[in-house]
Structure 1
């Protein structure tokens, strides 16, 4: 399935948030790995996210060491949660992280729509014209998309600063 522009914006938001993730594979024996959290789909049984990639690495390493031979995905999930709890690291299901990222994208879209309705895009349009003079091949939709990315980066940095 091809990613939509909103999906790409949500992935950008997650990546910029600096969120770590632990993927639990449904193979037998189960696998546990620290992975990038930004992808919107997962073939793993479970993906649990945490505030920092280093925490994800530590949790995955600790959980792998605890797993018995032939462990199931359920066993792996118990081990991951136990290590996270022992280290007082909160875990969030991947689908909740995705919902938050999509909410951030929707917020940016609503903000820009409201700005357009009030005629407040003059500054952005002025900046586009200046950028277009420097690069005559620059398209407005590409420039506008880059502005959305910038807004999402600012939101994501706010989240990163609080964690």
Structure 2
């Protein structure tokens, strides 16, 4: 073998190893979780709350929804910290608002403030009557992937798949990767 042939073979092997690593990296469960965490669209949750039939409460609900929509625009513009501060202000008006707690938990998760994310998401997940409970379960599962707590990830993902929540297809995909 000539020196040129050895160089070509070496380059080919290095490229093959690099592409194998890139494929593994792109398909690993941790990377999928990272992608799901950072590609969330908070506008999915707008106007999903329970609407009252009382005129005063309808006006208050509309006002809150309009405020949330304005904050969503701040978030979409990439200013997560300002959006978080605005959500916190709204939460002072209604401390049991599961939609706001979910949104804040997601932002904390994206900002890698995992203990705060866990606190907010667990609160929402624990309130099973909330329409946001299974969404919180999804993000708790992603948080547990970050911690590599596989014993916690599997039951959460299975619950999401069984309930056919908003993220059941993604949960099924991650569950198949485990």
Q: TM-score, normalised by structure 1?
A: 0.29
Higher strand share: 1
User: Greater RCO between the two (CA within 8 Å, min separation 6)?
Assistant: 1
Q: TM-score, normalised by structure 2?
A: 0.28
Who wins on radius of gyration, i.e. which is larger?
2
